[in-house]
Amino acid sequence: MNEMIVRWPARNPRLFLAAAALAWFGLYEALISVSEALVAAPPVDRNSHLGGALQFFSTTRPKC
């Protein structure tokens, strides 16, 4: 079973690339909500310098 998983990208490179691109896009889209949840977890004001720094270092995507 493990050998099949390890050799899968070599046997189907286009399918692997498509799956990797979809996974990357999904993670990229979830980046803002995850960073906001991480800033909201500790008792830090989101609009303070520390809250802004935590959000900046947890994501490089700008807030809209």
CA separation for the pair 29, 39 (Å, rounded): 17
What are 20-34's pLDDT values in tens digits?
999 999 988 888 888
CA separation for the pair 49, 53 (Å, rounded): 6
pLDDT of 18: 94
Mean pLDDT of 30-46: 79
Residue type, 4: M
The pTM of the full predicted model, rounded to 2 decimals, is 0.53
